[in-house]
Amino acid sequence: MDTHFICLANSYKRGGRCIAGVEIEIDSSNHWIVKRNTDESPKWIRPIAQTTEYGEIPEGEAHFLPLLSVVRLTDIVPCPQMAHSEDVYYKQIYTIGKVPSHSVILSKLTDDIHPILFYTTDYSISIDTYAQGDHSLMMVHPEGFSFHLDPSKNRAKYFMIFNYNGVVYDFPVTDPYFYQYIEQHPDALDNLLDVYITLSLGLEYEGRHHKLIAAMIIPSVRLALNDPFVIRQETLREKSTKPFTHQERRACKRCFVVPSQQGFAACLKMRNGKEQFIPIDEDCSVKSWQVINLKKAFLVIYEDADGNEFKRISVSFRTKRNLFSRLLTFFHLNE
């Protein structure tokens, strides 16, 4: 079974990203409506990768799933884990368009059914409460908010204090787009007057499941379309193409093709022990586990209408996958 959802979270998750959103139904005219649960709350979905340790979506794939994009999942199989009832496995994941960030849209996606956020008014819940829960995602429109910074972490982390249904909450922000935005606009928080937030229950940590702000979406002041409930088709513009520099090639110990749930990706095993996964351009003819020589590859930067940038690797050659190549790849993967 296939389904579609509006992406309302693309947040940090243990070395990758947590992707989630509200499911929608689309008709032949590209109009959409929100799918709802029996209690009339929006129906959420969280794709889980079967190739990663915690089900996180690899960074390279997540870059192509910006907030408010309309995402298609193919061959979904539900895999609920207690309060994480929204989890599903999938075969492929890709975007087909986008919706505007206007309050008319966002208000259709908010949850006004649950009076408190994830079962208690505390900042986290116990394992027992999590085991009895039935939801771990929601979007709300806070009534008032402010921010404070905790510099004691390895990476400075912002917390948001906000009021919802008369209760004051204080949750950490795990939205990478938020950190990118305030880095580019240092005074943004002082001028922020309105925001919608996606909330999520994190994985178990030190015996608790913590409540997180997975996304912050600033509503637009104007509607971009006459009919806001029509999916806007997205086109990517090629912004730049550049070869890998000598320093970049030296930093990479080896690079090879891996199957990806968006086609193929390049796995770059770095000399510092880390790995990077970058999608391979769809026009390239490659095979799984094929070794890539970065001297013959290019990094292509694409940009969408909102200025979001996406990286892909373009491989400008074909390599015959002979016996020697397969043996070499086998030893690389098992070092």
The string of DSSP letters for 240-276 reads EEEEPPHHHHHHEEEEEEEEETTEEEEEEEETTS-EE
Top mean pLDDT of 66-80, 181-195, 257-271 is at: 66-80
75 domain-assigned: yes
Q: What angle do CA 73, 74, 77 make, to 5 degrees?
A: 95
- For residue 335, pLDDT over 70 is answered with no
- For residue 120, pLDDT over 90 is answered with yes
Dist. CA 236–CA 230, nearest whole Å: 19
Rounded to an integer, the average pLDDT of 275-287 is: 82
231 domain-assigned: no
Q: Which strand (E) or helix (H) includes residue 13?
A: strand 3-13
Q: Which residue type is seen at 252?
A: C
Q: Which strand (E) or helix (H) includes residue 74?
A: strand 69-74
- For residue 64, pLDDT over 70 is answered with yes
Rounded to an integer, the average pLDDT of 19-45 is: 95
Residue 159's Cβ-count burial label (10 Å; 0-12, 13-18, 19+) is middle
Q: In DSSP terms, which residues pair with 263 in a beta bridge?
A: 260
The lowest-confidence range among 57-61, 75-79, 187-191 is: 57-61
Q: Name the residue range of residue 248's domain.
A: 237-333
Q: Which strand (E) or helix (H) includes residue 180?
A: helix 176-184
124 domain-assigned: yes
246 domain-assigned: yes
- Do residues 208 and 294 share a domain? no
Residue 35's Cβ-count burial label (10 Å; 0-12, 13-18, 19+) is middle
- Do residues 182 and 264 share a domain? no
- Do residues 299 and 189 share a domain? no
pLDDT in the model for residue 324 = 47
- Do residues 159 and 94 share a domain? yes
- Do residues 243 and 318 share a domain? yes
Q: In DSSP terms, which residues pair with 12 in a beta bridge?
A: 17
- Do residues 183 and 67 share a domain? yes
Rounded to an integer, the average pLDDT of 271-276 is: 86
The rounded radius of gyration (Å) of the Cα atoms in the chain is 21
pLDDT in the model for residue 322 = 47
pLDDT in the model for residue 249 = 93
- For residue 46, pLDDT over 90 is answered with yes
Interval 67-96: pLDDT, tens: 999 999 999 999 999 999 999 999 888 888
CB atoms within 10 A of CB 208: 16
pLDDT in the model for residue 196 = 97
Q: How many domains does the chain have?
A: 2
Interval 193-225: pLDDT, tens: 999 999 999 999 999 999 999 999 999 876 655
Q: Quickly state the pLDDT bin for 158 (edges 50, 70, 90).
A: very high
Query: Is the full-model pTM beyond 0.95?
Result: no
Query: Cα 231 to chain center, whole Å?
Result: 19
48 domain-assigned: yes
Dist. CA 175–CA 168, nearest whole Å: 20
- Do residues 117 and 209 share a domain? yes
- Do residues 81 and 160 share a domain? yes
- Do residues 205 and 241 share a domain? no
Rounded to an integer, the average pLDDT of 146-166 is: 85
232 domain-assigned: no
Q: Quickly state the pLDDT bin for 170 (edges 50, 70, 90).
A: very high
- Do residues 143 and 30 share a domain? yes
